[in-house]
Structure 1
């Protein structure tokens, strides 16, 4: 430093190590956070909307399936599902659809028609029930007697259609004798056998005391019922030992049959 000259004052720098620093957040980072939050909400909303649309499609598919399952049993839907039917049937269907206000009787569904065609018969007691070889004769014309797709001849029910039948028979006897042995049977004649086949039997032996022998109102009844396979051409009839003691009339005696299943069950 030159003598006699005024020297320059030295500069002094003070460093404060205790000073606190405040970080100021960048405006750009905050903006990106808000955008990401909005995108997340948008994705959640789209996911919920997709689930709702999928649920609607599943519900509509379920309703369509239910309608088709119910329509399957309707005769109109049955005919529409078979386009190979004749033009005459198609014209009938269109006429029924186009004129709903008409008084035309609708066609019977196929399964109901099959049920109505099942054979059945009921024969009531005759005033002259004694036949040959103890075969019981029945009334097949008057009263509550009825035969449908079955025949009758000389005490025998004639089977016209093969199937499983429910057979039943009831007979009533006057049990006035001191001792009475009775056998009530349901028999079948078939082409496969030369002799009659016994299907059901009820046997009873009754011996009364002298006091009861004078009782003129004592009766004996027997009822038989069962399911049997019958073929076309079979003959079903009832035999009764002591048939001379059979109580005549339509209210105490009957015989019947009705088909419960057509055809033959494979074992």
Structure 2
């Protein structure tokens, strides 16, 4: 599932040096070498009763970053995956996934983040964020 709503104007959000945001995509303003980063924090409220017979809740958490350019199909540029088990003895299950990499991007390229289990993401501005900046 593509994340379509990132905060771009308030709090810690920053769009600078020609970077644009459009429906979940960052639009690259100029050809160059970019550092692309994304962090997602997952928070699961454990509602399993102690006597449920189940020892844990298992979730597969996959975090992708994609690039679309002039080619018809988007290209996956980063992926983080984890199968996580949260014990029924904890109130919350917590997990953070961070990605960062350097990519040669072109003016007009679009980058975005997709995930599995989107309802588990905590969108607090210090927990989940996405961005890119030009290195050269």
State the TM-score, normalizing by the size of structure 2: 0.85
Of 122, 127, 130 in structure 2, the residue corresponding to residue 252 of structure 1 is 127
- Give the total of aligned pairs: 125
Which structure 2 segments of 5+ residues have no match? Answer: 47-56
Which structure 1 segments of 5+ residues have no match? Answer: 1-132, 262-267
State the 1:144 CA deviation. 1.4
Moved >4 Å (runs of 4+): none
Of 26, 31, 40 in structure 2, the residue corresponding to residue 162 of structure 1 is 31
Which structure's residues are more often helix, by fraction? Answer: 1
Residue 62 of structure 2 corresponds to 183
Residue 234 of structure 1 corresponds to 109
Q: Does 1:196 align with 2:74?
A: yes
Rounded to whole Å, the distance in 2 between the matches of 1:134 and 1:207 is 24
Larger RCO, structure (CA 8 Å, separation 6 or more):
2
Q: Deviations 1:2-61 (Å, cap 9, x if unpaired)?
A: xxxxxxxxxxxxxxxxxxxxxxxxxxxxxxxxxxxxxxxxxxxxxxxxxxxxxxxxxxxx
- Residue pair 1:134, 1:241 contacting (<8 A) in 2 also: no
State the 1:194 CA deviation. 1.1
Residue 224 of structure 1 corresponds to 99
Task: Quote the RMSD (CA, aligned, Å).
Answer: 1.4
Which entry has the higher C-alpha Rg, 1 or 2?
Answer: 1
